[in-house]
Amino acid sequence: MPSLPPRLAARFEQRTGKYTSVVQQTSRLSEGLALARFRCDQFIGKAVGAGEHIGVRVSERDFRHYTLFQVDALTGEYSVVIDLAPDGPGARWALGHAPDQEIDMPAPAGALRAGPADRHLIAGDATALATVRALLDGIAGASGHATAAVEVPTPDVPAVAALLSEAQVLAAHGTPGRALDAWLSALLTEGFQPQQAYLAGHAASVQRLRQTVRARAGLPRRAVHTQVYWADGRTGL
């Protein structure tokens, strides 16, 4: 998302901000994760779904993307889970925004959707918890079977296990994505044969996991769905 001079950022927010949300409350789920709750009356009765992305102005100049974790179409309330690891404008906004603050944003869009299949593989990191939650729910709703893992820093493991009880929650160690690499490799060695794969989060990890699942499980390109949420040395994806 863009970083703009403050006057242009305000104009960009006004021009693209068709939906107005109000901050309800932000709480700390764990050392590295915040749960931010909002209300948007324009969501009431609309088919806005968990897993869709919003673009938010997080400072005078900066915009960042987040993913809807839970949405209540009756009340317009929704939440996002924010990884505090980056310590950029987005993470600072997550901890600093005040209740009743108003946010203008474009229509939510862009969720990863589960394709028709029986066996699904899902892998993500701390930025992809909402995406993983939405995929797990979508796959269960279509009577499919999901094998999922998320990689998060060790202090966040218990909180994430409570959010995603169907997924394996792996403690990150060393380079991002290494715990997911080991998990995927072991799974494929045991003979697991997914029909659809969803990989989300850190760019280089998503790329490695994608190569592994295509090479070792023989999945065609169209069966591997990826979304990159952050990249080394890049701000504001």
Ligand X SMILES: Cc1cc2nc3c(=O)[nH]c(=O)nc-3n(C[C@H](O)[C@H](O)[C@H](O)COP(=O)(O)OP(=O)(O)OC[C@H]3O[C@@H](n4cnc5c(N)ncnc54)[C@H](O)[C@@H]3O)c2cc1C
- Is residue 65 within the footprint of ligand X (CB under 6 A)? yes
Give the residue, chosen from 13, 52, 77, 83, that forms a contact with ligand X under the rule CB under 6 A. 83
Torsion of CA 20, 24, 25, 29, to 10 degrees: -70
- Is residue 237 within the footprint of ligand X (CB under 6 A)? yes
- Is residue 85 within the footprint of ligand X (CB under 6 A)? yes
Q: How many residues bind ligand X (CB under 6 A)?
A: 26
Are 9 and 63 contacting, i.e. CB atoms less than 8 angstroms apart? Answer: yes
- Is residue 82 within the footprint of ligand X (CB under 6 A)? yes
CB of 190 to ligand X, least distance (A): 30
Contact track, ligand X, 4-33, x by CB under 6 A: ------------------------------
Give the span between the Cα atoms of 161 and 187, in whole angstroms.
20
CB of 181 to ligand X, least distance (A): 17
- Is residue 86 within the footprint of ligand X (CB under 6 A)? yes
Give the span between the Cα atoms of 131 and 196, in whole angstroms.
15
CB of 189 to ligand X, least distance (A): 29
Are 73 and 43 contacting, i.e. CB atoms less than 8 angstroms apart? Answer: yes
- Is residue 67 within the footprint of ligand X (CB under 6 A)? yes
**CB nearer ligand X, residue 130 or residue 139:** 130
Binding residues for ligand X restricted to 123-142, rule: CB under 6 A: 127, 130
CB of 119 to ligand X, least distance (A): 26
E strand or H helix at 223 = none
Q: Where are the alpha helices (DSSP H) in the chain?
A: 6-16, 89-96, 129-141, 157-163, 178-189, 203-217
CB of 127 to ligand X, least distance (A): 4
Long-range contacts of residues 1-7, Cβ cutoff 8 Å, at least 24 apart:
1/55, 1/62, 1/63, 1/64, 1/65, 1/236, 1/237, 2/63, 2/236, 3/61, 3/62, 3/63, 3/235, 3/236, 4/61, 5/61, 6/60, 6/61
**CB nearer ligand X, residue 50 or residue 223:** 50
Give the residue, chosen from 19, 38, 78, 229, that forms a contact with ligand X under the rule CB under 6 A. 229
The contact set with ligand X (CB under 6 A) reads 53, 64-67, 80-83, 85-86, 88-91, 127, 130, 229-237
